[in-house]
Amino acid sequence: MARSTEGTKPLPPSVFHILLALGDDEQHGYAIMGRVEEITDGAVTMGPGTLYGSIKRMLADGLIEETEERPDPALDDERRRYYRVTALGARARAGETARMKTLLRHAGARNPQLGSA
Amino acid sequence: MPSVRTYRAVTRVYPPKFRREYGEPMVQLFADRVRRDGGRRAWGSALRDVSISAPYQYWESLMNASPQTKLTVAAVLTGIAAIAFLLVGGAILGLVLLLVLAWELYAILRMRGHRVSEQRWWKFAGSGVALFAVLFIIFAMPWPEDWRSAVPGELAWTVAMFGFSASIVLVVLGLFMGVAQLASRRGTSGGATA
């Protein structure tokens, strides 16, 4: 059963990373892993267990869904599974982004050296 | 690739349901990483990942399990902890854990729909007392020294510890059932007179 996470509690970092990595596209596990590395400047590398453990929870929570369509079946491995963000996932991502912006604003106000960075 | 075959074997440490659902994509992801980063880096990262994510998946599947399964796991862990404490000398804590174990077993029997009948409670308590008596005769009677020396001391100690623990659990489990039966009888007779 899908649980609403919108506007309630902060998302776990791995979930937020995957939502950011997916963007508005449909991507498979390896592409998500590569994109997470890219957006975190290589600081976060998700292993297969962590990635698919998070994907399992996100599917259960209704934040992402598995798609049947393949972007380019001729170029791709048929066994790959593709995922995309749901409307609920997009709202949760926007909520988390807003929460982070608020945190950064407060951090900048209290620590000017951080705010100017 | 032998490395990928080995990783496929490693995924067996995950809970079966998770492995059935995501085992193949995980292997494929690992193979992609080996191609990109080489075996050494991929393995370094994969082993860290397995050591963190596998216990987490077990924890998650336990949290989603039925109350009976949770209680069974708790009973097994309590039993292991009780025996461990008794073996290393923490007798009081070990006995407390044995009492907890008896309560857990009692709760499991109730959950499985076993009715607390008169016969059952005295059977448990009686078999516990009988086991205790047998162990007492074996370990506390002044048997000839050559008989005693025929059995290694450590083996005798371990058997005695397991045996006495089991007898305590059986007696306490029987007493829990007896008390529950008494309470239910009083409740029934109270309800009938009311």
Q: What is the mean pLDDT of each run of 10 residues along chain B (194 residues)?
A: 86 93 93 89 91 92 85 88 79 83 84 67 87 85 75 77 86 83 70 44
Q: Which residues are CB-neighbours of B149 under 8 A, at least 6 positions away?
A: none
Through-space distance between the first and last CA atoms of chain A, rounded to whole angstroms:
43
Through-space distance between the first and last CA atoms of chain B, rounded to whole angstroms:
77
CA distance B124 to B169: 9
Best of B11, B49, B50 to mutate (most A CBs within 10 Å, chain A):
B49
Q: Which long-range contacts (CB under 8 A, 24 or more apart) does A99-103 make?
A: A99/A10
pLDDT score of A97: 93
pLDDT score of B96: 86
pLDDT score of B153: 72
Ramachandran class of A9: left when φ > 0, alpha when ψ lies in -120 to 50, beta otherwise: beta
CA distance A11 to B50: 22
Distances (CA, A) of A58 to A84, A86, B13, B82, B103: 11, 10, 22, 39, 37
Alpha carbon of B49: minimum distance to chain A alpha carbons (Å): 5
Examine the predicted complex and report whether its ipTM is higher than 0.90. Answer: no
Within chain A, how many helices (H) and strands (E) appear?
Answer: 5, 3
Of residues A88 and B143, the one with the higher pLDDT is A88
A residues 84-113 lying closer than 8 A (beta carbon) to B: none
With an 8 Å Cβ cutoff, is B29 touching chain A? yes
